Each structure stands twice: as C-alpha cells, then as structure tokens.
Amino acid sequence: MATIKDRINVSVSRETREALEYMAKRDQKPLATKTAELLDLIIDIEEDRYFGELAEKRLKQHRGRWLSHEEVWGKRKLTH
C-alpha cells in the first residue's frame, strides 16, 4: 500500500528516544505519529519566530503615520 508521507531516518540520543516513547505512550499514539506531530509543532514555532522577527524589523523601519483599524476598514456591516 502506497503512502503519501515521506520517511526520514533520524538518529537521536537515548534520552530523546525515551522522552518520545513516554509522550507517545502518554498520548496513546504510535511513536512515529507522536514524533511527526512534534516536528510539525516545532516547524510552526520556528515559522512564528521568523515572521515575528520580520515584523519587528519592519516596525523599527516604519517612519510614517499609523492608521487605526477604523481608518483602514471603516464601519462596515457584514452581510451573509
């Protein structure tokens, strides 16, 4: 049976493996599933950090006048 997921072989320390096994057992998930979830989480965190740093850089470079939410969007009625 084909899978849409790629496999990656990673060597980890004994302590890391034990921690992963503990978390997988605690959450009642296979070790590979828990490991993949944690990798996805850290990728999200790293992405947030990158965009946070980018935003800070842009805020420091900003020299213009700030617009309020109301000035940008106005008072609009939402219609469905």
Over residues 1-30, mean pLDDT: 93
Distance CA 34, CA 41 (A): 11
Q: Look at the pTM and tell me if it is higher than 0.95.
A: no
Angle between helix 31-61 and helix 14-26 axes, rounded to 10 deg: 100
- Could you tell me the two tokens for 27? 């959450």
Q: How many domains are contained in the chain?
A: 1
Residue 71 pLDDT more than 70? yes
| 1: in domain | no
- Residue 21's domain comprises 14-62
Sign of CA dihedral 34, 40, 44, 45: positive
| 67: in domain | no
pLDDT digits (tens, 9 = 90+) for 23-48: 999 999 999 999 999 999 999 999 99
- Could you tell me the two tokens for 51? 């965009």
Q: Which residue has the higher pLDDT, 33 or 80?
A: 33
* pLDDT-derived band at 1, boundaries 50, 70, 90: low
Distance CA 24, CA 75 (A): 49
| 39: in domain | yes
| 4: in domain | no
Distance CA 28, CA 22 (A): 10
Residue 77 pLDDT more than 70? no
| 72: in domain | no
